[in-house]
Structure formats: structure tokens, C-alpha cells
Structure 1
Amino acid sequence: MGAERAGDERETPARRRGQGELEAQVLSALGGASEPVTATWVLERLDGGLSYSTVITILTRLHAKQAVTRSGPGRPVLWQPVANEADLAALRMRRLLDKQSDRDAVLSSFVSVLSSHDEELLRSLLAESGPGDSAAPHAPADRPEG
């Protein structure tokens, strides 16, 4: 009763996925499809014992973020990617930045922790885009538009 059983190993709890990890996995699966696919198709390509409802939830969230499209109201609902994993990560980064009151400080801190390779790549990308080539420019609040 109080004795240990030989080979008594406790079941390890399931690893909690990082924020956006499931979305990235779903986008990756969708990216491998040659045409719009069902949620069941996506589920079959994901490992990790996910439920159908979890896949639907992730697809619905991706749809709200405009990262995937879905077919009309008919059945079955078909899904396809609009954005790839890199696009989705960039969108998340942009949304986080948009929530900050001191964008300059956030960007400065971000750049200060980049590797030299990433910093050089960022400089190159900024040089290629040219001045004023922002995807969604933000006018300073204290500057009148017009």
C-alpha cells in the first residue's frame, strides 16, 4: 500500500503551447494544401491530440485576424490561408506595438536586443523600402493633418 511500485512513473502533464504556436501550426498545415480544405483535413495533419473544436476555434481566430478565408455558408466549410506564418507573426508584432504608448522606446529596446545579423537585415530591409514606405503610417497626435 505505501510501497512504491516498480517503474512507477507519473504521467507528465501536456506541454502548454506558446502564444500563437497553434495558429502557426494550423497555418503551416493550410500552407501545404493545394486547395481550400476542411477543418477535419487540418486536424488530421496536426499532431498533439487536438480536438476538432480546438481546430475550429483556431481557424475562427485566424479568420478574425484575416489570416485565412472560409467558404460561404454551405457545408462543408472550406478554409485557406491568406497569410503565411511570417505574415501572421509580423501582424502580431504590429498589434503589440500599436498598443504601446511610447512606440519610440519599444522600437529602440527591440533594436537594441537584435543580433548583429538581424540588425543588418533590418537595416537592409528599411533601406530597400525607402522613406515613407510604411504599410500603415501613423500621424503623430500633435501634428495636424491636412
Structure 2
Amino acid sequence: MNQGMNTALSAIMLAQGLKIVTHKAKSGHWDWRPFFQTGGMPSSHSAGVSALATYTALKTGKSSVETALAVVFGVIVMYDAQGIRRHTGEIARLVNDLDEDIELLSGHYPDLFHARRDVELNELLGHQPAEVAGGALLGIGLGLIGYFSRK
């Protein structure tokens, strides 16, 4: 595997690991599940693409086609992570709340039949802008480390 790929994958893994720590800071208890989930602080999507773009820019120069590809790809990924995917998670939250509301109404109106879903929709699909920015900063730092620590 090349150093650029190692740098990007390391950034993704570190960001996922940091989600455990940020979850502990928020909730007060340790939980390993955030490592395997999407969403949360920092964005591993942003960390990975920022690390790759930073490493590529340092290795090939800021005017190279490779850097242009890495940066454009990274911007699209980060925009998607905090845009469309975040909105999809917000819609999932509304649908889950709607299910609870209908269940409550069906208790008041027995002729309104409602079967509650066994599994709620996943609400942690995307990122808040601060989570994307945190991942990007982490990725830039790791891209610098990856470049300057290469053999």
C-alpha cells in the first residue's frame, strides 16, 4: 500500500476511534459502538479525504492533476457528509417521532390501527458542519505527519 493511502486510512481509523472519546465526553460513559457508526465528531469522511488531499498536494505539488482530483473529491465528500446525509438523518428522526405520535393517537382512538416498527430508522447518517470541520483539521494534520514521516 502506498503512503498516501496509509495516511488516509489511518486518518479514518483515528477519527472513528476519537468518536468513542467524544461520546464519553458527552454521555459520561464508555461505549465502543460509535467506532462502527456514521455521524459524530470528528467526521472520518472529512479526515480521510483531507489527509489524502494534503498528502497529495505536498507530494505532487499544488498544481498537479492528482491534487486537483483529491481536493475536488474531498470537497464533494465533505459537502455530502454535512448536507444530504445530515438531512436524511433529520428526516429519519422526524419519521421516528411520527411513529411515536401515531402510536399515541391510536391509543386515544381505538379504531385507528397502528403497528409500531420493531427497528427505528438510523438518525446518525451525516455530520454537523463543526464535525466536518473537526475531521478536516484532523485530516490536514495527519496528512502533514504522513508526508513528513515518509521514508
> Shorter chain as normaliser: what TM range?
under 0.3
The TM-score with structure 2 as length reference comes to 0.25
Q: Which structure's residues are more often helix, by fraction? A: 2
Q: Which structure's residues are more often strand, by fraction? A: 1
The TM-score with structure 1 as length reference comes to 0.26
Greater C-alpha radius of gyration: 1
